Amino acid sequence: MAAAAARRSGRWDPSEIDMEGTSGGCCRVLTEGAEMRYKVGAEQLEHVPSLAHRPDGVFRVARTAPVGPTHAVDAATDAVACGITTDGLDLLDQDWEEAFFVEKCPGCFAAVVAQS
State pLDDT tens for residues 65-79.
Answer: 899 999 999 999 999
- The answer to the question of residue 31 being in a domain is no
- The answer to the question of residue 78 being in a domain is yes
Q: Tell me what pLDDT residue 107 has.
A: 96
Give the residue, 71 or 35, on which the prediction is more confident.
71
Q: What is the pTM of this model?
A: 0.63
For residue 97, the 8-state DSSP code is: T
Task: Please give the tally of structural domains in the chain.
Answer: 1
- The answer to the question of residue 33 being in a domain is no
- The answer to the question of residue 2 being in a domain is no
- The answer to the question of residue 11 being in a domain is no
What is the span of the domain harbouring residue 68? 38-115
6-33 in b/e form (b: 16+ CB < 10 A) is eeeeeeeeeeeeeeeeeeeeeeeeeeee
Q: Tell me what pLDDT residue 28 has.
A: 40
